[in-house]
Structure 1
Amino acid sequence: MSQHSAWFVPGRIEVLGKHTDYAAGRSLVCASSQGITLRGRAIDEPVVRVRSDAASDMVEIGLRQEPVDRRGHWSGYPAAVVARLVRNFGDAVGGAEVEVTSTLPLASGMSSSSAMIVGLARVLIDLGDIESSELFKRNICSIEDYAHYLACIENGQTFKELEGHMGVGTFGGSQDHTAIMCSHQDQLSQFSFCPTRREADIDFPSDYSFVVAVSGVLAEKSGQARELYNRASLATTEIVKLWNQATGRSDVYLNQAVQSSPQAPAQLREIVAGREYLPQRLEQFLVEAHEVVPGASAALRDGDLAAFGQIVDRSQYYSEHYLGNQVPETVYLQASARRLGASAASAFGAGFGGSVWALVPSAQAEDFAQRWLSDYRQAYPEPGQRAAALVTRPGPSAHRL
């Protein structure tokens, strides 16, 4: 059994696939070159202590501690990891002290929270030698399985034999954890979900980079942002419920219903017609998962950046007007990036704040970042004080150090 474990865990960029994963849709993603580093050591106390350079306080979680609602505090993420691993693997989970350092902006839409969950889980699993257990090996048979299980730590769902727990209070999918654990350097990857399947890997243009503008509007999944996030998620569940009532089927995910027959999309539109929000949510899912993501992958594979940019603009439009997860600041940043010459640009992540990516030639990336931020700060001076920009390319997946 190891006494020490260290991991680098990247953030992720959701290139396309806005709120599609938990409905069994598809996404186009990559890992970022920025991320968090976790260094853990085993201790002879029934407690996990986590210190982060991004927070002033230390989190201490008892291994047998009753779960408490930590809404709005970063401690909810490590607490969810500890509680779930203890529930699933019992005494194999031991005490630990973990130091976390980060080059990933918090609450930026780059999945710093999911990176924390992935990293802390991997450290504790290493220290407890949990991967060698029969229970682990029976249930986690691939890296995609592994990512899905770690997503279930966050959303609280059961994974095969591994019983669910309370999670962090969001009803999300496994896109972020899949991007963090399954991405390839210098490539974008197209995945479908529920179950997780790698559909394609597309080479990223060698002379281009992503510039990511962090809006300064915090995208923490707590308070009102969490309620709005969950509305987008639970709407897909409500559509499936209405569909099953109308058809006698027993589908679990929206995409199962969509793909059940060629007539299914039209039937679904009839079923949700006239209801609040559901028609827009359905339309956004159909366009994003079945037209935007595969179309963008094909354009990028063909090297057609003009077509890629137009497809990405369509995704942004449906996000603003149908999904409803954008705020004025991210709407402005996306339009500003295109006006300043980006080949493509889109808001990404859960929404309700967060970040926007822009695709630009690498040689111009730093200059573009400064012009983009300057333009944004003139339009939105208050969040502009907290805004930042970074340059990244598709990086490697999470790995031991």
Structure 2
Amino acid sequence: MTGPAERVETEFAETFGGKPEGRWWAPGRVNLIGEHTDYNDGFVLPLALEQGVAAAARPVDRPVLRVRSVQQEGTVELALAEIAPDTVSGWSAYVAGVAWALREAGHDVPGLEVVVDGDIPAGAGLSSSAALECAVAVAWNDLAGLDLSRDDLAAAAQRAENDVVGAPTGGMDQMASLHGRSGHAVFLDMRSLRAEQVPFDPPAAGLTLLVIDTRAPHAHVDGEYAERRRSCTQAAEILGVPALRDVSLDGLDDALARLGDGAEGDLLRMRVRHVVTENARVLDVVGALRSGDDPRVIGPALTASHASMRDDFEITVPEVDTAVAAALEAGAHGARMTGGGFGGCVLALVEADAVEAVLRAVEAAYEKAGFRAPSTFVATASDGARKL
């Protein structure tokens, strides 16, 4: 069975004729811990996955982008000079947006013929869009000899998503895709954008990091995500800090007391409590992994993170809560929703020989609740975006 890297080369020959100049790969990501802390200038701990997006590409002597997706019909052709916010839409905007962002940053990028394909489960919150952007960004970087840093490429990919696609995401997904390393998670300070690879190798400890795609629709169409951002911004303004990252765990009780009375004050207290305690949990997990502790010790932090997302940030859904509860009851050391919320995936840190038991428990709980059967895969910390 062929994978994306093989399919893009075959499709390139059929679409454009001849061979591409090369093939590039960028992984999706799963966030081990640190949810909704990114836009609060906080801390996150994602890891790059084995699953990702491949791009076969070659430069052309005309200032055009010709892009084809193995998973879509037809080829999209755009003049580079005409790409701008609000001028492109659909899946090709992620690719076109990278060209626009690089040009806006002052880089001379050539026209490109490119075919893309991926194996990240769609709609699962595993950053397939960032993987697409980063695969194309590293291809353009190599083909044009731009010699941009990983941070520069991440910034361009994020700007493509924010300004051209119109998705108000932070930079975590792109940074994780570009800075990933096998056997490591990527500790990101989202204020300084400093990236540090922290050892995280569950198989070496006899563990498995299981990803459960809950099959619940992963969408923020009702404005819930935007509401959480607004609440955090409002709370920071009331507290007189640049961002909620600046509220310490020791100062949390005092901060909560300053958020006013009534329903609005109660809501802001919940949102602030999640962000502040989540930042502390990220730092605790990073400290344990840096010290070479048994990865099992991070399990309670994962579970506490989920409880905080469920109770204080209110971003879980019944399918997610059911999967977490069933995994824990079946012996998982820790389990939590991962991603922006309102659907998506659950992570469970389990003994390698207990994976089947956890899967059966989750499936049984889903059947009892009348949910669609979930799908699962094992998350392996992998290398970041690169030429194949």
2:85 equivalent to 1:67? yes
Deviations 1:106-132 (A, max 9, x none): 11111111111111222223232222x
Alignment partner of 1:254 out of 244, 252, 255:
244
Task: State the match for 2:126 in structure 1.
Answer: 110
What is the deviation of 1:70? 6.4
What is the deviation of 1:338? 1.2
Normalization by structure 1: what TM-score? Answer: 0.80
Give the direction of change, closer, same or farther, for the CA distance of 1:392–1:266 in structure 2 (3 Å limit): same
- Aligned to 1:38, the other structure's residue is in SS state strand
Task: State the match for 1:188 in structure 2.
Answer: 185
- Aligned to 2:348, the other structure's residue is in SS state strand
Alpha-carbon distance in 1 for matches of 2:244, 2:287: 24
- Does the Cα contact within 8 Å between 2:125 and 2:340 map onto a contact in 1? yes
What is the deviation of 1:241? 2.7
Give the direction of change, closer, same or farther, for the CA distance of 1:262–1:321 in structure 2 (3 Å limit): closer
Alignment partner of 1:154 out of 158, 161, 164:
161
Give the direction of change, closer, same or farther, for the CA distance of 1:269–1:14 in structure 2 (3 Å limit): farther
2:371 equivalent to 1:354? no
Task: State the match for 1:281 in structure 2.
Answer: 271
Alpha-carbon distance in 2 for matches of 1:203, 1:95: 40
The 5-angstrom pairing of residues 169-318 of structure 1 reads: 169-198=166-195, 201-205=198-202, 206=204, 207-220=206-219, 223-224=221-222, 227-244=223-240, 251-255=241-245, 257-258=246-247, 263=251, 266-267=254-255, 269-271=257-259, 273-274=261-262, 275=264, 277-290=267-280, 292-300=281-289, 301-303=292-294, 305=296, 307-318=297-308
2:58 equivalent to 1:41? yes
Give the direction of change, closer, same or farther, for the CA distance of 1:121–1:379 in structure 2 (3 Å limit): farther
Alpha-carbon distance in 1 for matches of 2:91, 2:121: 14
- Bigger drift between 185-194 and 45-54 goes to 45-54
Task: State the match for 2:140 in structure 1.
Answer: 124
Aligned residue type for 2:21 = H
- Does the Cα contact within 8 Å between 1:111 and 1:349 map onto a contact in 2? no
What is the deviation of 1:76? 3.4
Aligned residue type for 1:67 = P
Alpha-carbon distance in 2 for matches of 1:153, 1:268: 36
Aligned residue type for 2:133 = I
Deviations 1:315-371 (A, max 9, x none): 001101111221111111111211222222111011111111112233444x35752
Alignment partner of 2:364 out of 375, 388, 398:
375
Give the direction of change, closer, same or farther, for the CA distance of 1:44–1:194 in structure 2 (3 Å limit): same
Task: State the match for 1:394 in structure 2.
Answer: 381
Aligned residue type for 2:71 = A
- Aligned to 1:210, the other structure's residue is in SS state strand
Deviations 1:133-176 (A, max 9, x none): xxx6xxxxx53454344333323xxxxxxxxxx24333322222
Task: State the match for 1:325 in structure 2.
Answer: 315
Aligned residue type for 1:190 = F
- Does the Cα contact within 8 Å between 1:269 and 1:282 map onto a contact in 2? no
Task: State the match for 1:163 in structure 2.
Answer: none
- Aligned to 1:323, the other structure's residue is in SS state coil
- Does the Cα contact within 8 Å between 1:171 and 1:234 map onto a contact in 2? no
Alpha-carbon distance in 2 for matches of 1:328, 1:395: 31
Aligned residue type for 1:398 = A
- Aligned to 2:125, the other structure's residue is in SS state coil
- Does the Cα contact within 8 Å between 2:338 and 2:347 map onto a contact in 1? yes
Aligned residue type for 1:337 = A
Give the direction of change, closer, same or farther, for the CA distance of 1:316–1:28 in structure 2 (3 Å limit): same
- Aligned to 2:121, the other structure's residue is in SS state coil
Aligned residue type for 1:391 = V
Count, aligned residues: 362
- Does the Cα contact within 8 Å between 1:243 and 1:268 map onto a contact in 2? no
What is the deviation of 1:229? 1.9
- Bigger drift between 309-318 and 78-87 goes to 78-87
Give the direction of change, closer, same or farther, for the CA distance of 1:268–1:154 in structure 2 (3 Å limit): farther
- Does the Cα contact within 8 Å between 2:185 and 2:381 map onto a contact in 1? yes
- Aligned to 2:258, the other structure's residue is in SS state helix
Deviations 1:173-232 (A, max 9, x none): 2222222111221122322211122456133231222221112223256x33xx222222
What is the CA RMSD across the aligned residues, in angstroms?
2.8
- Does the Cα contact within 8 Å between 1:373 and 1:388 map onto a contact in 2? no
Identity over aligned residues, as a percent? 27
What is the deviation of 1:5? 3.9
Normalization by structure 2: what TM-score? Answer: 0.83
Alpha-carbon distance in 2 for matches of 1:273, 1:400: 55
- Does the Cα contact within 8 Å between 2:94 and 2:160 map onto a contact in 1? no
- Does the Cα contact within 8 Å between 2:333 and 2:349 map onto a contact in 1? yes
